[in-house]
């Protein structure tokens, strides 16, 4: 099955300088009625993005609507993705075209959901995050999965490392997913069930 591989993302970014962005803001519950994973991108941050839920009236002050911000990287305030476990949040972020989300803290379930869909959550220090938000000129971020680093533009001094477990890193670099891995363990799982019963 698998996902698109992810190794280096060099791209512009969309900064949303708000803390505690919960999954109800990322994708409101009224859009969860689909039975497929595609098409959620157009409802990403729906209620912050449009006036009166009207696609013809984008809110000019919301970064996703501002032409100077674009790219494959979303940058958001601390505790991103809290709230409901809906994976639709990760799908809508991916469907919109983001491959990386940068924040100084992520809610647990969101982090897992993102990784399971080939979206990389990059957790940076609060200071580094603020540095990104301070960039007034259009600039790029460079995320290197292999080296586990994130850089602001070409400014060498603004580089930070991030954590990712070795297993997830291998998955991202190769485009595998967890189901592929687990399916290969069927026999071990069956043995475990028999042992556990005693």
Partner 1 sequence: MAGKTLFEKIWEKHVVKIIDNGPSVFYIDTHFIHEVTSPQAFNGLNKRGLKVFRPQQTVATADHNVPTIDQHLPIKEELSRLQVEALIKNCAEHGVELYGLGHPFQGIVHVIGPELGITQPGNTIVCGDSHTSTHGAFGAIAFGIGTSEVEMVLATQCLLQSKPKLMRINVEGVLKNGVVSKDIVLYILSKISASGATGFAVEFAGSAITSLSMEARMTICNMSIEMGARCGMIAPDEKTFEYIRWREFAPQAEAWDENLVQWKQLYSDSDASFDSEHHFNAADIQPMITYGTNPGMGIGIDEKIPTKESINDTDKSGLEKSLAYMGFEQNTPIKGQKIDYVFIGSCTNSRIEDLRMVAGFVKGKKKANGVEVWIVPGSKQVEAQAIEEGIDKVFEEAGFILRQPGCSACLGMNEDKIPAGKYCISTSNRNFEGRQGAGARTLLASPLTAASAAITGVITDVRELLN
In sequence order, the 6+-apart residues with CB closer than 8 A to the CB of 190 are none
Geometric angle at alpha carbon 148, from 147 and 152, rounded to 5°:
100
Name the minimum Å distance from CB 153 to partner 1.
26
**Closest Cα partner for 32 from 84, 88, 109, 111?**
88
**193 contacts partner 1 (rule: CB under 8 A):** yes
What are the tokens at 165? 């477990």
Among 51, 108, 134, 146, binds partner 1 (CB under 8 A): 108
**95 contacts partner 1 (rule: CB under 8 A):** no
Among 43, 92, 103, 117, binds partner 1 (CB under 8 A): 117
Q: Where would I find the beta strands (DSSP E) of 17-103?
A: 73-76, 100-103
Q: Which stretch binds partner 1 (CB under 8 A): 18-26, 62-70, 94-102, 133-141?
A: 18-26
Name the minimum Å distance from CB 116 to partner 1.
4
Is residue 124 within 8 A of residue 150, CB to CB? The reply is: yes
Name the minimum Å distance from CB 1 to partner 1.
6
CA distance readout (Å), 8 to 4, 87, 89 = 12, 24, 23
Among 2, 5, 34, 130, binds partner 1 (CB under 8 A): 34
Among 16, 100, 102, 107, binds partner 1 (CB under 8 A): 107
**Closest Cα partner for 53 from 31, 70, 68?**
31
Nearer to partner 1, 72 or 87 (CB): 87
Three-state SS at 143: strand
Geometric angle at alpha carbon 128, from 109 and 68, rounded to 5°:
90
Binding-residue pattern over the window 166 to 185 for partner 1, x denoting contact by CB under 8 A: xxx--------xxx-xxx-x
Q: Which stretch binds partner 1 (CB under 8 A): 7-15, 61-69, 105-113, 131-139?
A: 105-113
Q: What pairs with residue 172 in β-bridges? A: none
The residue ranges that bind partner 1 (CB under 8 A) are 1, 18-20, 22, 24-25, 28-30, 32-37, 47, 53, 78-79, 82-88, 90, 105, 107-109, 112-113, 116-117, 165-168, 177-179, 181-183, 185-186, 188-189, 192-193, 196
């Amino acid at each position: 099955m698998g996902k698109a591989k992810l190794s280096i993302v060099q791209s512009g970014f969309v900064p949303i300088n708000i803390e505690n962005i919960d999954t109800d803001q990322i994708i409101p519950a009224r859009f969860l009625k689909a039975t497929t994973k595609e098409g959620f991108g157009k409802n990403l941050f729906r209620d912050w993005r449009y006036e009166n839920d009207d696609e013809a009236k984008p809110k000019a002050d919301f970064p996703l609507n501002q032409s100077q911000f674009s790219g494959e990287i979303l940058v958001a305030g601390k505790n991103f993705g809290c709230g409901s476990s809906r994976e639709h949040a990760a799908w809508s972020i991916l469907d919109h075209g983001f491959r990386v989300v940068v924040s100084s803290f992520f809610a647990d379930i969101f982090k897992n959901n993102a990784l399971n869909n080939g979206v990389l959550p990059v957790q940076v220090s609060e200071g580094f995050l603020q540095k990104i938000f301070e960039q007034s000129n259009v600039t790029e971020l460079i995320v290197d999965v292999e080296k586990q680093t994130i850089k602001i533009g070409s400014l060498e001094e603004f580089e930070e490392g991030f954590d990712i477990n070795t297993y997830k890193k291998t998955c991202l670099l190769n485009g595998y997913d967890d189901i592929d891995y687990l399916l290969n363990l069927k026999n071990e799982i069956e043995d475990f069930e028999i042992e556990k019963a005693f």
